Structure 1
Amino acid sequence: MAADRPATDPWAVPDVPILARSAHDRIAHRRTDDGWLTAVWDDPASRVLLVSPGGTVRVQPGGRSLRFVAPSEAAVEGVRVLLGATSDTVYLALLATEEIADLATDESDGVSGPDWRGLRELATELTDLDVGLLSTAVALQAWHQSHRHCPRCGTQTRVTKAGWTTTCPADSSEHFPRTDPAVIVLVHDGAGRCVLARGPQWPAGRMSVLAGFVEAGESAEAAIAREVREEVGIEVCDVAYVASQPHPFPASLMLGYTARVAGDPRLVIDADEIVEAGWYTREDVRRTTDWANVAVADRADVAVADRALPALRGLPGAMSIARQLINAWLLAED
């Protein structure tokens, strides 16, 4: 699924969420073709992405594209993964089991050493091909690191299907990469205000929309109603799906929605989940910027009518589906 790169306008709404973008075929039918896999790992034309245990990868000078190597250059211990292919190139990943930040240095490109960066830093700079490959590789790295033993009997598993499954040698059970569904919702009042809040892990002023994991036996819509009720004490209606994107930190799928408050809009905060929250107008939101903008971090608390709101000094960055929900709401008509 290819898409245009995000516009420079900080309030632009991308056609496809950034981490949902892709320009390669996963060619799942090749994952069990051992002869073909051996051939592509021997083929110098294949491109291999080295992924460190921490999920970082090497980038080209300038940091706007991934640095791939030939299979012969991927000489570190790790899990071999078939990421996919384009019409003319097969893409592989080597998920290292040892630290590799000091390896694969190439002085010929004029840099003093390898530049290793993570998906959060790179996502908005990469092409659709690169961001799709990297999102997949990072998710698989996290899964392989945390799921090395059979959940049934505890036996160490072996990697199968080109890195896309593991199999227990004791009971032959097969295990797949985990994906945890989570809902994220922009709650509005239909009259030009939305709810923004911050959790205890964020410094004052950094606000976002509400989110939470879908529980066992629960639908996404039911999770939205429950999470909103638990976190800020209000009921919602008119729940509408917007978009989704993977969030491989380490294994979530973010399902983005909007919803309208039903009944009393007074916020009652769950102090364990939320430090502060408030109803903000579109003008309040437009006066802020990304979390990374230090200059805006010193602004005073926002005030609406005769009621002071918690400080709103920064919004989620462009990579997040939270920002897409906020930007789309800014452009909407109530």
Structure 2
Amino acid sequence: MSERPNVYACVPLDRAAHRRKDADWLNEARRSATARVLPVWQSRNFVTGPADAPRAVLVPASLDLGQEPIFLGLLTEGEAAGAPVFAVDLPGAESPDTLPPLAGLGRFEDLRSVGPQMPPGEGAYCAYARGMAWWNARHRFCGVCGAPAAMAEGGHVRVCTDAACATHHFPRTDPAVIMLVHDGGDRMVLGRQSRFPPGVHSVLAGFVEPGESLEEAVAREVLEEVGLTVTDVRYCSSQPWPFPSSLMLGFTARATSFDISTDQDELESARWFDRAFLRDHTPSDDFRLARKDSIAHRLIRDWIDQG
């Protein structure tokens, strides 16, 4: 499974981390004629094209968007390979797609709506831009002393401006396990939360707690959510999920108990589903699987195909 990247993974950029501390290089890169910017507004990405074939818009860095850019890296694919790419968050603009630098170039869309239809590389660097913009916007002040925190190292660090504190803050990623529980045969568990769109069912998931291994988190979350014990916890693949800041770690696990007891605080419902049903069903408002850009959908489809 790990040989095929998940949606939003494998961003086609050289992150060039060694350049982040070189302020002179960053300034020169911003002024480069090839430099491009991915605008972000209210956690939405700037895209163009029809709804069924959206494309990311990388605008010239020479456009004045009035905000400090975040260095993402150097393009590694296409004719523009080697070009520096930045993200710019536009938090104060009421309707930024009408600003003179952006007018007529595209529109801002929620990546969760357009990402599944985008070319994989473009979806990946849009996700990267979204995640970095979100983190910087929410860490403008030091979490230790409350003083303003200034952007540093191309937006990958924020430093407390109080010299007596000077704490360095780094982007956080919240690890979450997502697991397909099966019975060792042709049944697997799917559940739904009340906040899901009508009919949507998915595999189980939950955040890793401090002092807990990934395997322990899988077993604990399954027991808490559906009352099942599991063994044979196997890692499959991972997916960046910047909605807002998670890393989804995909697993399968074999149940050793089979009577489901649903935690109503976590799930609206959960039950066993047969492989044949999942293979042959027609998506409807009564039953459909998790969104296609999610690792949950990937886990389910791969399990179905193995039978």
Query: Considering the TM-score relative to the shorter chain, is it more than 0.5?
Result: yes
Q: 1:222 to 1:70 in 2, by over 3 A?
A: same
The secondary structure found in structure 2 opposite 1:142 is helix
Give the distance between the partners of 1:274 and 1:59, measured in 2 at CA.
Answer: 34
Q: How many residues align?
A: 295
1:271 paired residue among 253, 264, 268: 264
2:11 paired residue among 18, 22, 34: 22
Aligned-partner residue type, residue 318 of structure 1:
K
TM-score, normalising length: structure 2? 0.91
Instruction: Please name the residue that 1:39 is paired with.
Output: 28
1:65 aligns with 2:59: no
1:225 paired residue among 219, 222, 225: 219
**Is the Cα contact below 8 Å between 2:8 and 2:127 reproduced in 1?**
yes
Q: Which structure 2 residues correspond to residues 144-183 of structure 1 after superposition, within 5 A? A: 144-170=136-162, 171-183=165-177
Give the distance between the partners of 1:286 and 1:77, measured in 2 at CA.
Answer: 51
The secondary structure found in structure 1 opposite 2:181 is strand
Q: 1:19 to 1:288 in 2, by over 3 A?
A: farther
Q: Cα distance, 1:220 vs. partner?
A: 0.7
Instruction: Please name the residue that 1:102 is paired with.
Output: 98
1:55 paired residue among 28, 37, 43: 43
2:183 paired residue among 161, 180, 189: 189
Give the distance between the partners of 2:2 and 2:54, measured in 1 at CA.
Answer: 21
1:284 aligns with 2:277: yes
**Cα-to-partner distance string for 1:288-313 (whole Å, 9 max, x where unaligned):** 45xxx6xx21x5xxxxxxxxxxxxx1
Give the distance between the partners of 1:13 and 1:140, measured in 2 at CA.
Answer: 25
The secondary structure found in structure 1 opposite 2:57 is coil
**Cα-to-partner distance string for 1:276-334 (whole Å, 9 max, x where unaligned):** 11100112212445xxx6xx21x5xxxxxxxxxxxxx111121000000000100114x
1:84 paired residue among 73, 82, 100: 73
Give the distance between the partners of 2:109 and 2:131, measured in 1 at CA.
Answer: 15
Q: 1:85 to 1:285 in 2, by over 3 A?
A: same
Give the distance between the partners of 2:142 and 2:223, measured in 1 at CA.
Answer: 37
Q: Cα distance, 1:127 vs. partner?
A: 2.8
**Is the Cα contact below 8 Å between 1:21 and 1:131 reproduced in 2?**
no
Give the distance between the partners of 2:267 and 2:198, measured in 1 at CA.
Answer: 12
Instruction: Please name the residue that 2:196 is paired with.
Output: 202
Q: 1:212 to 1:193 in 2, by over 3 A?
A: same
**Cα-to-partner distance string for 1:94-150 (whole Å, 9 max, x where unaligned):** 12231223224444xxxxx73221221222232333122111111111111221111
Give the distance between the partners of 1:127 and 1:140, measured in 2 at CA.
Answer: 20
The secondary structure found in structure 2 opposite 1:78 is coil
1:321 paired residue among 256, 275, 295: 295
Aligned-partner residue type, residue 244 of structure 1:
S
Give the distance between the partners of 2:198 and 2:270, measured in 1 at CA.
Answer: 11
**Is the Cα contact below 8 Å between 2:205 and 2:221 reproduced in 1?**
yes
Extract unaligned runs of 5+ from structure 1.
1-11, 108-112, 300-312
Aligned-partner residue type, residue 36 of structure 1:
W
Q: Cα distance, 1:19 vs. partner?
A: 1.5
Extract unaligned runs of 5+ from structure 2.
76-80
The secondary structure found in structure 1 opposite 2:234 is strand
TM-score, normalising length: structure 1? 0.84
2:207 paired residue among 203, 206, 213: 213
**Cα-to-partner distance string for 1:138-176 (whole Å, 9 max, x where unaligned):** 111111122111111011100000011100011111000
Q: Larger % of strand: which?
A: 2
